[in-house]
Amino acid sequence: MYETWFVAAAQSLRGVQGLSSGADAPADPEATRDAKGWLGRLMPHRYDPIADQLPFTRAFDLEAARRVPSFDRLCRKSAAIAAASP
């Protein structure tokens, strides 16, 4: 789930869209089954993908998100494609 990447990079999102200044990523972000709910519990309003995804995407720490295997795979495959381009 896309929001799992935000959970992994929670520290970099503190204050964005009202995310709590004490937001800390869990040890295993992929074990968080309701990433949208997890984010919403740390915000003054319910997490809304339409309103919140873009600001979070602009701000999240890509290196922190690489702890999530799916994001790391995306980064590796993107780098391989870029390297293969003329």
Residue linked to tokens 């293969």: 84
Kindly tell me if the per-residue pLDDT of 30 is higher than 80: yes
| pTM, 2 dp | 0.91
Helix (H, G, I), strand (E, B) or coil at 26: coil
Helices within 1-86 (DSSP H only): 2-8, 35-41, 49-59, 62-65, 69-84
Q: What does the pLDDT average to over 10-22?
A: 97
d(C-alpha 68, C-alpha 22), whole Å: 21
Domain span holding position 60: 2-84
Q: Are 68 and 32 in contact (CB under 8 A)?
A: no
The number of domains in the chain is 1
Q: What is the pLDDT of residues 42-80, one digit of tens each?
A: 999 999 999 999 999 999 999 999 999 999 999 999 999
Q: Are 16 and 59 in contact (CB under 8 A)?
A: yes
